[in-house]
Structure 1
Amino acid sequence: MMGSQCEGDETGQEQSGGAATEACDDFTDLDLSHCLLGTRLYVRLLLYTRSNPRCGRELSHRRPSAAEPLFNLSRPTAFIIHGYRPTGAPPVWIDLLVRLLAEQEDLNVVVVDWNRGAANLNYFTAVANTWHAAHNLTAFIVNMQEEGASLGEVHLIGVSLGAHLAGFVGANLKGKIGRITGLDPAGPMFTTATPAERLDPSDAMFVDVLHTDMDSFGLNGAHGHIDYYANGGADQPGCPKTIFSGKSYFVCDHQRSVFLYLCALNRTCSLTGYPCASYSDFLDGRCLQCEAFKPAPCPVLGYDVSRWRDTLLRLGQTKAYFSTTATLPYRKASYRVDMVTWNQYLRWGAVFIRLHNGRNFTETRVDHKLFRFEQYTATRLLAQFDEDLHPVQKISVRISMGNVMGPRYKIRLLRIRLTPLDRPERPVMCRYDIIMEENMDIAFRPLPCDSHL
């Protein structure tokens, strides 16, 4: 087993004679030859804390307290559980996830290294090994409990196949552990599984799930007390759409769940989920109030769920949707747009909105469907922009109706109102009584909504 060297001030330990180094226990690093030959299951538990966020310490399965004081059983404990490893290499995200979790609060972070068992070209072998790894981890947590740890302070974070492994551990412990977070639970071999054969809400006191690849390597459906669906839960912006992109075509959507969660932990992006019956209803702007959660805001993806937990447990299984950009920090600027039109004839069209702040602009196309515009019709849209420009000095609107021949029809816009959803402290922007021509941009300066001037 290869070890690295870490500074003594990181581990809080020094060797005798003044040496300030300690050997670290690293995640198992395998290669393709191991995968070709197949690996037998072997589970290692690597401990990290705020005092040693970069230097792992392998724990004894039978005597967790042997690692005290570093492994303090009175602290909460988060377990990170990876998934299938077809190449045998360590997950690229594992070190950053450890460090970000250690920054959330004073807790034990334990990496469940079952790379020997997950690294197989035969995916079915890895699936079978999740059950055996789950029994191994269950026994360790039981030993923790017997030595004074609280099951309610245990949080399992499972990625892909690791999400189901976490569910099996939770089921073994009768759903008494505090929380399971599933990051795009694996779909292959689980699409027809019963709740006992996959992650489900009964596996912990609270289960939250993030979906990013439901149409391929991820699992469709709802499997937690709250399920977040990024961009509908399937195709992610910026990910390749053709097989000619190589490996990225297969893993990009699936891995996005981890990178979104890392971004949320790092507090560089605040990803608000809007509870809704479907993604299409969310895009139509029908689910932007979050009335059931008031006075708390809409639920946000991430580590701290204390503000929403009781409400979610009372509501039962909740689906929440949000959209992202293709790159960091992933967050979109969202506005609820309310329009009242007055036109003589029924028209159908998509809406294009551009926001200007003097130097730059950002544009969105609300064209997932055609909207109905007729005499005195109120239309609500969800407009999401890749950039958050503030203050907005000018707004451009175009209603595109696909009419390329003949005269352009006019539409009278009695009122348009843009309400910032992510920044409630910002003013609502309005404009009144504008004559538009279809397929033509109309630009105007926004006014306070209590003014008709």
Structure 2
Amino acid sequence: MKTAVVLFAIFGFAFASPAKLRTETVPEETIGFGTKYLIYRDEAGKFHFEDLTRDVPTPRATIDDVTIYFYTRRNQDKPEVFKTGDLSGLLNSRVYDSKIPSYFIIHGLNNNFESAMFQVLRPAILDKVDVNIFVVDWSPIANRNYLTARGAVPQIGKFVGDFINRMMDHFKLPTTMFRIIGHSLGAHVSGVAGAEVTGLADYIIGLDPAGPLFTVANKDNRLDASDADHVHIIHTSTSTLGFSPPIGDVDIYPNGGSSQPGCGLDLIGTCAHSRAYYYLAESIHSGGFGTVNCHNYKAFRNGECDHNHNSRLGSLDVDRSASGVYYLDTNSDYPFSLS
């Protein structure tokens, strides 16, 4: 979700202990169902104001609202296009290879298949590995408003998960051949898709999962650690747009997670929110950013955790030995990695 969101009024807070991490201290959740109003900016630069307390009809997404743009190394600039309702488009593909892994990449609010995250991540992945990339475009719903888009997350995720199940059934593929990456609302769509998959997808990478109107308690409509064999989350805007508490197997908070260096006075969080996919893209090329397991960012900065477990942010070979909350610092511009 390249869209920016400003939280104008927060009435109440949702505090919760992380499911898998009993000893870590992380930024507290200050966004959820207590949020009343927000303003966001679309990719055209237009601002939108929403009252999150108003009633809206339950969104009824259909398979026609989800389009797949399919890329490989053999068609990097000319995607094949098909719907998620059946496998006919994929079965007629000239470039699909069932013997290589498949990545599903999912956008957030007011994005589409041409948005910045795809322009950054798609070439980074294909430059590194020979894989199938399924760019999931759900813009007919995601481009309406936040309330509608957030409400449609379970339906969109189910469509994607069902499509993966049909692929597994038809091509006799193991779940280890499927990886899912989602940004903002798309991170939660990824979680629902993973939960829908028969068995466990290999991994999910959640890029700054959206915070407004999501809570720790309700795991059914958001990303959580049970949605794949490994769930790797990068938090970059917990003070504005992102979900603050740890909800994955590994939760990484670059620069503390609330804001990012080089973003200036990023009041509406646009810059920090987008940094998640820029960090991931760079990590794919470099093999990952060094991170340290620590109970909070202050302790990390003070060197109190220097002898704790080291892991890495991102890369396509996620570190399954890692568990818990990790911190790192970055540069303010590319290259972001200090290591």
TM-score bucket (shorter structure): 0.7 to 0.9
Aligned length: 283
Label 1:195 to 1:89 Cα distance change in 2 as closer, same or farther (>3 A): closer
Write the mapping of 1:403-414 to structure 2, written as runs, cut at 5 A: none
Matched, 1:141 2:147: no
Query: Per-residue displacement from partner, 1:327-361 (whole Å, max 9, x unpaired)?
Result: 110123xxxxxxxxxxxxxxxxxxxxxxxxxxxxx
Question: Out of 329, 333, 336, which is 1:323 matched to?
Answer: 329
Aligned residue type for 2:238: M
Distance in 2 (CA, whole Å) between partners of 1:285 and 1:32 is 41
**2:258 matched to 1:234?**
yes
Q: What displacement does 1:325 show?
A: 1.6
Residues 152-178 of structure 1, C-alpha deviations (whole Å, 9 max, x = no match):
211000000000000011112255111
Deviation at 1:242, TM superposition (A): 6.2
**Cα distance in 2 for residues equivalent to 1:39 and 1:55:** 31
Map 1:249-264 onto structure 2 (within 5 A).
249-264=268-283
Residue of structure 2 in register with 1:73 after alignment: 98
Quickly say closer, same or farther: Cα 1:175–1:283, change in 2 above 3 A: farther
Match of 2:240 among 189, 196, 216: 216
3-state SS of paired residue (2:281): helix
CA–CA distance in structure 2, aligned partners of residues 70 and 228 of structure 1? 35
Query: 2 CA distance for matches of 1:78 and 1:39?
Result: 26
Report the CA distance between 1:263 and its aligned residue. Answer: 1.5
Which residue is equivalent to 2:70?
47
What does residue 301 of structure 1 align with?
Answer: 313
Relative to its length, the structure with more strand (as a share) is 1
Contact 1:212 1:257 survives alignment (8 Å): yes
TM-score scaled by length of structure 2:
0.76
Alpha-carbon contact 1:161-1:186 (below 8 Å) kept: yes
Equivalent residue runs for 1:353-364 within 5 Å:
none
The answer for the alignment partner of 1:266 in structure 2 is 285
Runs (4 or more) in structure 1 with deviation over 4 Å come to 30-33, 38-41
Please identify the structure whose Cα radius of gyration is greater: 1
Which residue of 129, 132, 140 corresponds with 1:116?
140
Do the aligned partners of residues 250 and 175 (structure 1) sit closer, same or farther apart at CA in structure 2, a change above 3 Å counting? same
For 2:294, the equivalent position in structure 1 comes to 276
Q: Which amino acid aligns with 2:95?
A: L
- Equivalent positions of 1:3-402 (< 5 A) are 42-61=65-84, 62-63=86-87, 65-85=90-110, 90-120=114-144, 122-148=145-171, 149-173=173-197, 176-241=200-265, 243=267, 249-267=268-286, 270-290=288-308, 292=309, 298-305=310-317, 308-309=319-320, 311-312=321-322, 317-332=323-338
State the distance in 2 between where 1:52 and 1:105 align: 14
What one-letter code is carried by the residue in structure 2 that aligns with 1:280? K
Distance 1:186-1:288 versus aligned 2 partners, 3 A rule: same
Gaps of 5+ in 1: 1-29, 244-248, 293-297, 333-421, 423-453
Distance 1:301 1:32, change over 3 A: closer
Distance in 1 (CA, whole Å) between partners of 2:127 and 2:146 is 34
- RMSD of Structure 2 on Structure 1 (CA): 2.7
Q: From the superposition, tell whether residues 287 and 177 of structure 1 become closer, same or farther in structure 2 (CA, over 3 Å).
A: same
Deviates more, 1:155-164 or 1:97-106: 97-106
Q: Which amino acid aligns with 1:79?
A: F
SS in 2 for 1:229: strand
State the secondary structure of the residue aligned to 2:269.
helix
CA distance in 1, matches of 2:224, 2:266: 32
Percent same amino acid at aligned positions? 29
The answer to whether the 8 Å contact 1:54/1:99 transfers is: no
Assess, with a 3 A threshold, how the Cα gap between structure 1 residues 103 and 242 changes in structure 2: closer, same or farther: closer
2: CA distance, partners of 1:253 / 1:31:
18
Change (3 A) 1:242 1:260: closer
Checking the alignment, whether the CA contact within 8 Å between 2:266 and 2:272 is kept in structure 1 is: no
Q: Once the two structures are superposed, what CA deviation does each residue of 1:209-244 show, in whole Å capped at 9, x if it has no partner? A: 00000111000111111111010011111213265x
Q: Secondary structure at the match of 2:289?
A: coil
Preserved CA contact (<8 Å) 1:39 1:116:
no
Decide whether the 8 Å contact of 2:162 with 2:196 is kept in 1.
Answer: no
CA gap of 1:197–1:132, structure 2 versus 1, over 3 A, is closer
What amino acid does structure 1 have at the position aligned with 2:246? A
Give 1:322's aligned amino acid. L
CA contact (8 A) 2:216 2:245 kept: no
Deviates more, 1:151-160 or 1:190-199: 190-199
Q: Secondary structure at the match of 1:232?
A: coil
For 1:63 and 1:242, the matched residues in 2 are separated by 43
Q: Which amino acid aligns with 1:254?
A: H
SS, match of residue 263 in structure 1:
helix
